Amino acid sequence: MKKAYVFPGQGAQFVGMGKELYDASAEAREMFEAANEILGFRITDLMFSGTDEDLRQTKVTQPAIFLHSVILTKTLGADFTPDMVAGHSLGEFSALVAARALTFEEGLILVSKRAAAMQKACEKEPSTMAAIIGLPDETVEAVLGGIYDVVVPANYNSPGQVVISGSEQGVDIACEKLKDAGAKRAMPLKVGGAFHSPLMEPARLELAEAINQASLNTPICPVYQNVNAKAVTDPLQIRENLIAQLTSPVRWTQIMQNMIADGATTFIEVGPGKVLQGLVKKVDRDIEAYSA
């Protein structure tokens, strides 16, 4: 029996997230207060008693989810016994800190820089994302390949669910063509821009500099990375994949399949929300999945 710990990405946030941890654990309080100092603003105020609008700001959302996941991991103590870890998009940074490849401080700094760089890239060009339900991955890829505007697969979330990303016009055209091709639904998403697409290249270049300067250690267990869905333990390879992540698709379906093939029998979601548990069940309904 092997335990796979998985960490959520943007979209899992909610007002009040992390408050129970803060109130219940002195160690958690210390980490939250250290985060306030590192970030230069009291993110705890926004997490615990802000508004939905506050939490939707990329500069708040990403570090908030990271903090919830990483501090929750820390409070698990000896109960945190991973045989493997993975994180969805932003969650990959949480997974790397949990697996001790990155320190808490360096992970938070990188996440903060990632959020700022992505926000800047979003403001450069109007762009968006949409969820496509009910088509094979290959059909989605084939349809997008025939569209001139920028639009690419961004998240392979589960069999029959792919999120696409690109220019507003490209995504609009793709949604119509994918519905014509038999998609059950093509739903525009309320996001700041085209994450995991070529339009994130300015952010990738900016973040690459920070990632190259960060200290990366050998993790305590394999990390299944978004870019190739494979188990990685080499710090140099982890660094390269982390840099490539912003402009590459999140291969979550393949990560789940590979973890299961490598012996994962239980998936534990660490952080806000329960989205990843649902995605695991869509890959294999017999696999055990629950929240930490």
Q: 134 and 96 in one domain?
A: no
Is 68 known to be catalytic?
no
Q: How many structural domains is the chain composed of?
A: 2
Same domain, 213 and 181: no
Identify the domain containing residue 151 by its residue range: 124-188
Residues 14 and 150 in one domain: no
pLDDT of residue 218: 98
118 and 128 assigned to the same domain: no
97 and 10 share a domain? yes
pLDDT at 114: 96
Dump pLDDT digits (tens) for 58-80: 889 999 999 999 999 999 999 99
What is the pTM for the complete model shown?
0.96
For residue 278, tell me if it sits in a domain.
yes
DSSP 241-281: HHHHGGGS-B-HHHHHHHHHHTTEEEEEE-SS-SHHHHHHH
Written as six digits, the tokens of 44 are 């705890």
| pLDDT on residue 124 | 87
Within a domain: residue 94?
Answer: yes
The CA distance from 10 to 129, in Å, is 13
Same domain, 274 and 143: no
**The pLDDT value given to residue 241:** 97
Q: Does 33 fall in a domain? A: yes
Considering 158, 188, 218, which residue would you say is the last residue of a domain?
188
Same domain, 112 and 47: yes
Cβ 72 vs Cβ 270: under 8 Å: yes
Beta strands 223-224 and 84-87 are parallel
281 and 147 belong to one structural domain: no
For residues 113 and 248, membership in a common domain is answered with yes
* CA gap 152, 143 in Å, rounded: 10
Query: CA 184, CA 263: separation in Å to the nearest integer?
Result: 33
Q: Which of 89, 94, 158, 197 is catalytic?
A: 89
Could you confirm whether 89 is annotated as catalytic?
A: yes
Write out residues in the chain with pLDDT < 70, as ranges.
Answer: none
Catalytic residue, candidates 127, 158, 165, 196: 196
Over residues 221-231, the pLDDT tens digits come to 999 999 999 99
The token pair that represents 67 in the structure block: 């903090």
